Amino acid sequence: MAIHIKGDTGKTALFALQWLGFAVASIMAVPVIVGSALGLDSAASASFAQRTMLFVGLFSFLQVYLGHRYPLLEGPGKMWFSVFAIMSLSAMQMGKPLAELRSDLVAGIILTGLTYLVLSVTGLAKKITKLFTPLVNGTFLILLPLLLSSTIIRGIIGGESFNARGFIVAMVALTVTVIALLMGGGYIQSFSILCGISAGWLLSLLIGANPPLAVSREIIALPAVFPWGLPTINYTILLNCFIVGILILSNHVASTVNMSNYLNEELEEKRYAYSLAVTGLGNIFAAVFGITPFIPYASSIGFIRLTGNSKRLPFILCSLILVMLGLFPAVGGLIAAIPQQLGYAVLLIGFCQIFGLGLREYAKLSFDNKELLVCSLSVMTAVGIMFLPVEVVSLLHPSLRLIFGNGLIMGIAMCILLERMLSPMASTSGSEKIESGV
C-alpha cells in the first residue's frame, strides 16, 4: 500500500493528533495495572509505558500497511491484565518471587505468538472467521462495552476511593466531547475527542490532578532486551498462556471482521492471515521487550464512527509519531503521569459507539425463535458471570478462572456453540412446516 499525502495537510495533521490522543488514552492504564500486578517500581513502570508506546505504534503501522490494512489500533490485550493479576496473586500465595513469574510469562507469551504464526501459515485462521456471523458479531459488540462499563465507570470515579479532582477533569472532558459531538458543525464533530482530551488535560494541569512525574536522566533510550529476564519454562504458565491466546482469537476475529463490515470492505482470507501473523510477531516482540501481548482494539471502530474519519493516512502518521515518542523516556514518564480518570472518560464515549454498532448488527437479524434464544442466553450468561461474587470464582483452579470467570469469553463461546447446534434443528423444523403445508 503506497502512502500518498492528499487534501488538506492541516486537517490530516489534526486527525493524526486526535488518533494520538485516543491511542494514549487507550494504553495509559497499562503501566499502572500491569506494573502493579508484576511488582514494577515507578521507574520500571515509566520505562514500561515508553516501550508500550513504541511497539503499539510499530505494530499498528505494520497492521495498516502489511496486515489487515485497517485503521485499527494494535494494543495491549485487556484480558492479559487479568491473566497477569491472577498469576501474580497465585505466585505470592505460593511464595514465588514476581521476578521469576515475569520470566515464566516471557516463555508463555512467546508460545502464544508462535501459535498465531502457525495458524496464519497453515490457513487454519480462515476457518475461525467463518464462525463470526452477524449474530456473533452483534453479541460481541454488545458484550464488550457492557462488561467493561463497570471498569470504566470505576476508573472515572477514581478506583476504590473517590478522587474529586480527577472526577472533575473526567466530567469536563466528557462534557466538552459530547457538546462538540452533538452541537458542533461537521468539522468540530470530527475533532470532538481531541477537544475533550485537550480541555481535560489543561484543567488537570491547572488544578494539580496529574500524578507525580517520573524523571529520567536519559534523553533517548532504546528498549532493553528481556527486561523481565530470559524465558524460563513453567508448564502451568505455558498452558495458561496458550489457552488465553486461543480464547483471545475471538476478540481478534471480531475486531477485524466488524471493522471490515463498518467500512463496507471485504476481509480477504489472505489479509486476515497476514493480520494474525503480525499480531503473532507482535506478541513475540512483547515477550522479548517486556510488554503486554497485543490484540486489535475494537474500540477503534467506535472512535472512527465518532469522528467520521476512516482514512488510513492520519492513522499511519499517528503510528509513526508513537514510534518516535517511544524513544524518549521523558514521554513514558509523562504518559504514566496523565490522569487515569481522563483516559477512562475518553474510553466511555468510544465504547458507547461500539454498543451502537452492536445494535446495528442485531438489526440485520430476523430474530426468529432461534436467534432470540441464542442472543438472550449468551448475553444474560455473560453479564451474570460478571456479577458473580469473587469467592465463587476463586473456588476454581487459576487456569479455569481465566475461562469460566470471563463473561466475554463465555458469552461468545455460548453464542457460537448455540448457533451451530440450533441451526440444523431450525432447518429441520422449517422443512417440517413446508411439508405439512404450514
Ranges 17-26, 30-39, 395-404, most confident: 17-26
Confidence band of 399 (pLDDT split at 50, 70, 90): low
Three-state helix/strand/coil letters over 107-142: HHHHHHHHHHHHHHHHCCHHHHHCCCCHHHHHHHHH
pLDDT at site 252: 86
Span 159-179, pLDDT tens digits:
777 888 889 988 998 898 888
Q: Are strands 294-296 and 74-76 parallel, antiparallel or unpaired?
A: antiparallel
Would you kindly state where each structural domain of the chain is located, as residue ranges? Answer: 9-422
pLDDT value at position 212? 64
DSSP-assigned states of every residue in 6-25: -S-HHHHHHHHHHHHHHHHH
- Percent of the chain at pLDDT > 90 equals 19
d(CA 214, CA 231): 28
Residue linked to cell 498452558: 239
pLDDT above 70 coverage of the chain, percent: 84
Which pLDDT score is estimated for 158?
82
Q: For residue 227, which of 24, 30, 75, 43 has the smallest C-alpha distance?
A: 43
Amino acid at 326: G
Name the residue type at position 319. Answer: S
Please write the tens of the pLDDT for every residue from 220-279.
878 889 999 999 998 878 877 887 787 678 778 888 888 998 888 888 888 888 999 999
